[in-house]
Structure 1
Amino acid sequence: MVREFWILGFENTHNTKSILFFLFLLSYVSTLSTNFMIILLVSAYRHLNAPMYFFLSHLSFNDILLSTTIVPEMLHIILREGCATSLSRCFTQFYFISLSGINECFLLTVMSYDRYLAICNPLRYSTIMDLKLCILLASISWACGIAFALPHIVLLQKMTFCGPNIIYHFYCDLLPLLSLSCSDTSANEMVSVLNSIPFLFLPFIFISGTYINIILAILRISTSAGRQKAFSTCSSHLIVVCVFYGTIMFNYLVPSEGQFLGLQKMVSVCYTILTPMLNPLIYSLRNEEIKRTIMTFIFLKKQRKMYI
């Protein structure tokens, strides 16, 4: 019986592991600093108390959770060129990865609904999207992440592993774990299919529907300046949605074996490491209000240092 797994990480990186370690460490520091900055700005400045920024702070916290679940362990794997991990630790990592992935799907869906109300129904926006509804929608997103990630963990705990114990990945993912099991995996596969409908396909269809209505509403605006202003309020969210759904769907459509294994690892890097790092950069660089708040924050910090 297998009592621990060996996570192989990235193969044939003996000569480049120092470079890989530095790049991933730099991306992790950037992810933490930029996402914490957004949470701090939304909490500290009243003019960023709008629903869009409220949900953005939750998205930033979720990205911190995803990165912290994967990257520190991955850095250790790169330095050691592989790492042993217990079954319970591996299952725990997979649970938090699933939780954050599902939560991000729902948060992006809620944010698309917020943009839909702001552009397609601006007169009733403030009365519909009040603080109570924001807290309720954010709570539902986190609750769905916690609930939908549990069935796989319960099923994995009941499975036996008696063959090879090498995970050809840099974190504990479902498909590599199922390939190592000696038990019947049909229940896990069924849960994967059933879970993908409410947290992947339905949110994607809902987001697509809201953006079709948003684009139609923007095209009805008579002035080009008005169209540009309306589109700028949702362009950042649209970019994040395209990056997130593009990488996660491609990751699970590509076979996780043979010649496709290296490609899946590359796509997984985009989904688990690059996306949490790019999300705050996309929002801050394309949002004038956040950029002005950052400049004000930096200016006030310099002023305090001068007085000290």
Structure 2
Amino acid sequence: MSDDIRTLTTRLAEEPSSLAFLELAESLRQRGKLDAAYKVARGGLGRYPGLADAHDLMARILSDRGDLAGAFDAWSDALRLDPLRTGALKGIAFLYFRAGDVAAAIAHLERASEADPDDPSIHQALARVRRESTAAAPPPDTAPAPAPISPPAAPAPDSPFTAGVEDERGVLLVDANGMRLAGELSADDGSEAGDRVAAQLAGVSREAARATRLLGLGTWQSIAVESPGAHLILTAPTSETVLLVTRDASFPMARVGLIADRAARTARSWLEQVG
């Protein structure tokens, strides 16, 4: 056992509530002792469930162990606690890239770049993802066949979400004036509540931007709310719109965040069509 690990182990044994577990688990991870690192990180996370550093650390360990789904959930939890955490944004971007979702990988790296524009590793990762995605694209045909006459372009759908992977209900797209643009939301009694909620969301994006600017937190990316009855994610597909995604509290918050990411991309594409 190296001196630093021995020292950290002793400190943690003497003060179980200290944050020494972060450094100890990371040292064990870097030495390839993943099982030991996992046990230390799990113990620390149990004591500090609201610490983004602990979730970020657990995600790195799980990723090294090959548990990519667990790593995704842990990094999502870190982002829920600290939306501008670049390590978590880079980690999720890596997982998206491995899964073949280049657009989502680039989106998360761009968010990381906005949060820390001076980090060269983010720019290098962005360049690599873009380069490899371009290299993987099939080359154009050298002798293309005559193109058939195309029918007139279909109009943009009334809602961006009906044809998507996720159900439209529980996803609400609102403009800056509180007008519902797309999506549906139901009250507890089953009645439609989309327009009422949309009106309440008017100005939320501006207020969030104002609050984060006053606090020196940079650009706001998303707001996550956990309640006994539901999990909610609020994000801004564009500077003039707000997207609300809500799911039952039984849904893991990480999955709600993934739904929100996909819905935001779909909404941006739809807004470009109808705009």
> Which category of TM-score, normalised to the shorter sequence, fits these structures?
under 0.3
TM-score, length of structure 1 as denominator length: 0.19
TM-score, normalised on structure 2? 0.21
Q: Which has the higher strand share?
A: 2
Where is the helix percentage greater, Structure 1 or Structure 2? 1
